[in-house]
Structure 1
Amino acid sequence: MDYDLDELDKGIIKCLTKDGRISFAELSKKMNVTEKTIRLRYKNLCDREIIDVVGIVNPIALGLKAGAIIQIKVKSKSISTVIEELMNIDIIRYVTLTTGEYPLLVQITVKDQEKITEVLKEINQIEAVTDINTIMQLEVYKNTFEYIFT
């Protein structure tokens, strides 16, 4: 899957992260290339799974006003099993393997504190989970989907 992004690819990605609804015609003007070139590059970026253009939900507009980051400790040699179980909990929107005392971290955005409690109880039912540390999100000041190429 090695693919070196050139400046045109990076420019397309940058524009799409700011406005996923921008037309190929507008992109071609901004990038100073033909619309056909934009179409081909866009298709290539999608085919290589470098980009996936999706609608981004505003959770507050949907009534999802409570968020938590949950750190999870697991029994030795159980990480893969726990990851699979966490991925099957629909309300969990992010699962990552981390370094440190808690090797797994998940993120949820829900309607209220009661729903956070329900999710914590569900995670606690996973047999290989040994400890949970919950970080409540009080306010989000920045949540971007832009990637900076350096």
Structure 2
Amino acid sequence: MVSVEIIDHLDKGIIKLLSKDGRMSFTEIANRLNVTEKTVRSRYNNLVENNILEVVGVVNPISLGVKVGAIIQISVVPPNMNHTIQQLRDITGIRFITLTSGEYQLLVQANVRDYEEITEIVKSIHQLPGINKTNVILQMDVYKNSFEYI
């Protein structure tokens, strides 16, 4: 894997432009960065091959009827951690799982169509072995959801 130090100003420029518009052509990127299309194509391929960049389509969840979001903090008995994470991955509606520090070892984000589905997800979580407690935080509105890291 390529280290971050190897990513130069040009690579960062390509990443930044694609973060704003993943469908931008290599020609347009080349014009904006004052390099050749061949250079952009080569750099792009290198970024993808080294797992630095992945261009995907991002869906507007509201257009699919996914209007309710929640952050769920989960306290887990340590010996059950890996098993719990695997089971959480299988719950439909959970789109993000991370290990955190503090009182709650896991944080998950769920996005679903309605509050009944959030209730079902929370019930499913409570049925998992090793769950001590949860804290459910409903997302009222989203003001920023960025894919820009550079």
Give the TM-score of the pair, scaled to structure 2. 0.95
What pairs with 1:1-150 in structure 2 (closer than 5 Å)?
Answer: 1-3=1-3, 4-148=6-150
Deviations 1:32-76 (A, max 9, x none): 111111111111111111111001111111111100000000112
**Structure 2 alignment gaps of length 5 or more:** none
- Measured in 2, the distance between the counterparts of 1:95 and 1:23 equals 33
Deviations 1:107-126 (A, max 9, x none): 01111100000111111111
- RMSD of the alignment, in Å? 1.0
Of Structure 1 and Structure 2, the greater helix share is in 2
Deviations 1:66-99 (A, max 9, x none): 0000000011222112111111223210000001
Runs of 4+ in 1 over 6 A off after TM superposition: none
Aligned-pair identity (%): 55
Check conservation: 2:2, 2:50, Cα contact below 8 A: no
Give the TM-score of the pair, scaled to structure 1. 0.95
- Measured in 1, the distance between the counterparts of 2:23 and 2:131 equals 42
**Structure 1 alignment gaps of length 5 or more:** none
